[in-house]
Amino acid sequence: MRLNQVTVTMPDLDAGWSFYSALGLVPIVDSRPRYARFVCPDGDSTFSLHQGDNGGGGTTVYFECDDIDETVRRLTGLGISFATPLEEKSWLWREAELFDPGGNRIVLYFAGANRINPPWRISPPDTARTPAE
């Protein structure tokens, strides 16, 4: 299984279009004012916006950036405000938090190998064993 798409809700898709384009997502569907879809610049995951009155419903979206320091500098230069500054976290990620125009929490981060293989990763279950009778 692999993740195809994440969709967030926001009232103003024009503001969302500008915000996510500035983040570097590439628009692929423009059905504003109800829907817009982007492809992530790395990989083949997509991200979409759906128009709704209530945005920011508790969802947090993480976008990994290999060049996190430059990405945060570039976005700050474009006038995008961050809720938390870029910092090293105890879980071995470097990240900064911001909110999109609909109130959805966005975290830009770099984790490298620690994204999937942190030092405290649990061992996968042994699928070769058969259940006891």
Domain edges within the chain = 5-115
The residues that bridge with 57 in the sheet, in sequence order, are none
> pLDDT tens digits, residue range 57-93?
778 999 999 999 999 999 999 999 999 999 999 999 9
User: Is the pTM higher than 0.75?
Assistant: yes
Q: What angle do CA 104, 43, 26 make, to 5 degrees?
A: 55
Domain 5-115: homologous superfamily in CATH:
2,3-Dihydroxybiphenyl 1,2-Dioxygenase, domain 1 (3.10.180.10)
Q: What is the mean pLDDT of the chain?
A: 90
Higher pLDDT residue, 113 or 131?
113
Higher pLDDT residue, 28 or 54?
28
